[in-house]
Structure 1
Amino acid sequence: MTQLARLAGAPERPQPREAVASRRPRVAARTLWFAVAVVLALGAALASVALGTRVMGPGEVLDGLGGVLAGDQAGGVAQAAVEKRIPRTLLAVLVGAALGAAGAVMQGITRNPLAEPWILGVTPGASLAVVTGIAFFGLASPASYIWVAIAGAAGAAVFVYAVGSLGRGGATPLKLALAGAASSAAFTSLISAILLPRIDVMNQFRFWQIGGVGGADYARIGQVLPFLLVGVVLCLACARGLNSMALGDDVAAGLGQNVVLIRTLAGLGAVILCGAATAVAGPIGFVGLVVPHLCRLLVGIDHRWLLPASMVLGAALLTAADVVGRVVARPSEVDVGIVTAFIGAPVFIWIVRRTKLRAL
């Protein structure tokens, strides 16, 4: 019985005590690495509160947090800095977790090591939908951005998968990667074509196009949080089904899994996460590519561990990238989308050379 078959829920023969005992170190190692990821995420969050144009020491951070929690209306500079940075940190954590989980799910349902919201055109599709709505339909409500972005992400995902499925062999990793890259380029060009003649729209969203969490506030977080929760629940509910699909659609169906339903629900969850994250933070790439591959090295291929680990490590990566962007260009800042692209591009090249576009 292979590891994938066990993860997919296939019936097992009774195992000797030695085999059962040998699994305990694996569970302990996964738990340890997951705990390390949580610590990294917490450390990145604390750094995000402490670092910026004004660097604060631990004492100032604690004083500022105390003032915020106490509702002190006459707080000092430290409290004002903390109060401004907390929503930014929370948004970075939520968006990073959403993109990490979405990338892991997309790689699972396509069995494509290069599947990622940006590379498959899902994030640019959401961006195109938002910009189109603003330029031609007068969208102004942040809540409407989320719905439009989710619709654009869903349309882009269906389009790329349909194009990648044409011809002999169906949706192979190579065809999906090529279709996604071509679609991303086309969507990005259309965004530029819409924005260039409209100076007012371009000035309003030129920083949003790059991707960042600098304009975070509690109202935006409250608007996007229900969508992110729905997306996460859908993805986690399909974890065992994704394990079965790793064996192939025929084997998964033989194990009693409804392959079409699993692929639809998991894909819907990933699309909701991508669309909502893009609407609130702009198009941010490569988080969904880098994080799942790293998590597979740490916790293995079981999606019941992989998805939560991708969420935690995605939150840590995006928050840390936001901190780096604030520190390297102080007193100005580099948008987090640029930092993640700088990190993710070499990883993308490494994955291509290592996998040679084989399926997972």
Structure 2
Amino acid sequence: MTLPRPHPHDLLLAVAGFAIGLLLWSFGLYTTGDRVFDQRWAALVPLAVMAAVEAVRRTMPRTALAVGTLAIVADQFTNGNLVTVLMFTDVVYAAVVYGPPASARRVPYSTGLVTVAVTVGFLVWWQNAIALLVGVITGMVSFLPALTGAVVRNHREAADAARLRAGQTALLAEMDRAQAVVAERARMARELHDMVANHLSAIAIHSTAALSLDEPATTRQALTVIRENSVAGLTEMRRLIGLLRDSGGDAEPGAVPSLDALDGLIARARANGAPGGLDFVLEDTRPADAEALPAPVELAAYRIVQESLTNAVKHASPGTVTVRVGCGDGVLTVAVDSPCGKRPGPSAPGSGAGLVGMRERAELLGGEFRAAAEAAVWQVRAVLPADEKAGNDA
């Protein structure tokens, strides 16, 4: 079994204590006289033992206390050495500060009981005031160091607990910051995709048509649509840049799209989808006197319709795309039906990010989203809460 190495500070205390005790012994300075072992050398034995346990006060606190107790008792049968007593007080203190929690709790109680027992015992034996003085000295040598060690240990544990809580708080704050960054990136990705994807899709489709058809009129029409979508895309990009640079609050910029702008959205989709044989119809059944919806709900509904129309322009087969918007019973419903099947002419590739973005927008508001093909019709359904709480949650 390998014994733990003494702490350098403890080793220094042990060497210094033994040297000072040896110096006092050489000058004949004792704490008592006329003891059982009144030979001068006898006082050096407890001193050497106490110096040895002082060296392991931190690494072996319980062993040091046990051996040190035997040494201090043995010192009472010699002429005694003041340094032996002082080192014993330090051993008691270290046993409480560095010992296991159970023994650290027991040592103050044990030393207190020993102090009371010594005081009562000497009172019964001597029956004079000197017994009280012996009790006070016993308390100063044993109970007071143990009590001091308990106070120091409690303060250290409280400081450790405070540091642990501070570390946990910092970790939670970092996790919250990371989650906020991820959420903000996801929001920026949805905005970027929904604002620009439809314009780029229209540009891709019409540029393909212009390259594949050698007709001046068709090419001119395609180039006109390409220019319109390029300008609109740049405008949307400028709005997004303004949103990112706005640090005055968490609200959306003033020019937030709303459901009142669906007519213009349908008109642009109709122009973009005309080469593919698509027509677009809006059925808005919201009451004219309905209360205004929270801005996040209107934005989410607008983006869902916008992305659905973009997908229709890219993938739908010739036919009519129907957009239905209704409000009632505290919810806003959005439905987009587009024909699906074999598509003639040019098309634009899809990444699937649009469906993910629409689902995220609905779920962030506590709503529901579904997109699936049924009977040759691609159906998009979104149900969003229309109360003020939805705006606050977003």
TM-score by length of 1: 0.29
TM-score by length of 2: 0.27
Structure showing greater Rg: 2
More helix per residue: 1
More strand per residue: 2
